[in-house]
């Protein structure tokens, strides 16, 4: 298990134009993200966390700077190529889980894999495997309305894992959950980083997640103010 640099961010900046005044959301930041690691990106509300997550995952075009993913300057790619990069490498977990109300847990995953042209039999096996990984194999037949918030977040994570992403981006994945459920999810994301070698980048204002991180980067007003490995 050797960690390797998978995303190199250099001089990243982003501002938003509003009627009152321009807002600097990301202020010239530079950092590198590694495989096999869960990095927590922590800061108060409005500090620029979601903007950074979007800019480094190819969702939001920065004003300046470079995001290099697996040796490719992702903002120099044309849009279809950037979309292909994202589909191939990236998995996302958001606070709002975005499951289909009418589908069971296993169907949520199979439907997504069908869109990726994964044959049905393999999709079914992989879906069960991923539900097992999040501890929900016994609820494969349940719909979102029959599951708790934490269980639904785990289904969303299982669906994300079924894609086998090597870059995992989470934006406040636990903020709608109680402490114990939040800890379970954070522990699970850390386990995924260790077991699959994925890079996990988790944005949060929730201090409770710190215990699960390999590294904690703090951001304030769009600037990195500290960057530390966590002693275990
Ligand atoms: N689409 C937008 N238009 C204008 N301002 C925005 C927009 N998105 C975010 N902002 C502002 O940029 C700053 C950083 O926001 P954000 O990245 O969402 O921070 P965080 O995720 O840490 O709460 C905040 O001041 C926010 O109000
Ligand atoms: Mg945010």
Q: Which of 134, 147, 206, 148 is nearest to 175 (CA)?
A: 206
**Whole-number pLDDT of residue 141:** 97
The mean pLDDT value for 92-106 works out to 92
How far, in Å, from the CA of 50 to the mean position of ligand 2? 4
Query: Which atom of ligand 1 lies closest to the CA of 51?
Result: 17
Rounded CA separation 16/98 (Å): 26
Query: Which atom of ligand 1 lies closest to the CA of 171?
Result: 21
The mean pLDDT value for 114-120 works out to 92
- 18 close to ligand 1 (CB < 6 Angstrom): yes
Ligand number nearest CA of 223 is 1
> Residue 88: phi, psi to the nearest 5?
-75, -40
CB 32 within 8 A of CB 3: no
Residue 169 has pLDDT above 80, yes or no: yes
How far, in Å, from the CA of 174 to the mean position of ligand 2? 12
Query: pLDDT tens across 147-160, in order?
Result: 998 899 899 999 99
Closest protein CA for atom 6 of ligand 1? 16
Query: pLDDT tens across 43-86, in order?
Result: 999 999 999 999 999 999 999 999 999 999 999 999 999 999 99
Q: Where are the beta strands (DSSP E) in the chain?
A: 5-16, 23-34, 38-42, 64-69, 72-73, 90-94, 167-171, 199-204, 215-220, 223-229
Q: Which of 203, 156, 176, 193 is nearest to 59 (CA)?
A: 203
pLDDT confidence tier of residue 42, bands split at 50, 70 and 90? very high
Ligand number nearest CA of 95 is 2
- 43 close to ligand 1 (CB < 6 Angstrom): yes
Tokens of 38: 């869960």
**Whole-number pLDDT of residue 1:** 66
What element of type H or E holds 185? helix 179-196
In 3-state terms, the chain is what percent helix, strand and coil (to 5)? 40, 30, 35
How far, in Å, from the CA of 144 to the mean position of ligand 2? 24
Structural domains in the chain, sorted by start: 5-229 (3.40.50.300)
For the chain, how big is the Rg over CA atoms in Å?
Answer: 18
pLDDT confidence tier of residue 179, bands split at 50, 70 and 90? confident
**Whole-number pLDDT of residue 181:** 83
């Amino acid at each position: 298990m050797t960690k390797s640099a998978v995303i190199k961010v250099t001089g990243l900046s982003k501002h938003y134009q509003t009627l009152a005044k321009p807002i600097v959301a990301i202020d010239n930041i530079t950092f590198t993200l590694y495989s096999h690691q869960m990095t927590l990106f922590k800061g108060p509300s409005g500090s620029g966390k979601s903007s950074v997550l979007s800019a480094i995952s190819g969702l939001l075009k920065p004003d300046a700077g470079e995001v290099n993913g697996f040796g490719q300057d992702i903002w120099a790619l044309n849009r279809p190529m950037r979309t292909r990069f994202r589909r191939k490498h990236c998995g996302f977990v958001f606070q709002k889980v975005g499951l289909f109300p009418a589908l069971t847990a296993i169907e949520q995953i199979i439907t997504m894999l069908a869109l990726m042209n994964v044959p049905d039999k393999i999709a079914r096996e992989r879906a069960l495997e991923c539900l097992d990984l999040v501890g929900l194999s016994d609820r494969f037949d349940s719909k979102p309305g029959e599951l708790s918030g934490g269980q639904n977040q785990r289904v969303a994570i299982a669906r994300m894992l079924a894609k086998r992403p090597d870059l995992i981006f989470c934006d406040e994945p636990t903020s709608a959950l109680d402490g114990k459920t939040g800890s379970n999810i954070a522990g699970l994301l850390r386990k995924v980083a260790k077991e699959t070698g994925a890079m996990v980048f988790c944005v949060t204002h929730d201090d409770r997640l710190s215990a699960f991180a390999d590294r904690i980067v703090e951001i304030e007003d769009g600037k990195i103010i500290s960057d530390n490995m966590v002693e275990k």
